[in-house]
Amino acid sequence: MANRPIAPHLQIWKWGPHMAVSILHRITGDGLALVGLGVLLWWLGAMAAGPDAYATFEAVMGSPLGMVVLVGLSWAFFTHMMSGLRHFVLDIGAGYELDTNKTWSILAPVIGILLTAGFWALVLLK
């Protein structure tokens, strides 16, 4: 066997919040792409199909399961957005200090949750 270096793996690296938020960023992006696109296309199709189809869409999205989907999509959006902003700052070369990186890795999903709660408070209390 060749005497060459082994690529780092999760068993070697110490798990940290920066790894978790990076994985969460990918998961929320995939969820938005798959579930979000499905709901968007259903909504557009229901509007184009007429009042009966749109009433069905409203009934399903207004049900408890539909609300879970909508709250989940909004959480995924805000979490993905905050993580994306974190990645943007890293891309410009800032925020690589360990304490700063750890702090923003923890704050990104927390701010996403707070933005989701604020968004739904505005929607439901209006």
Q: Residues at the annotated binding site for heme?
A: 80
Instruction: Count how many residues are written for the chain.
Output: 126
By C-alpha distance, which of 37, 60, 115, 56 is closest to 83? 115
CA dihedral angle for residue 69, residue 70, residue 75, residue 76, rounded to 10 degrees: 70
User: Would you list which residues are annotated within the binding site?
Assistant: 80
The values of phi and psi at residue 104, to 5°, are: -70, -25
Give how far Cα 35 sits from Cα of 14, 73, 78, Å: 32, 8, 15
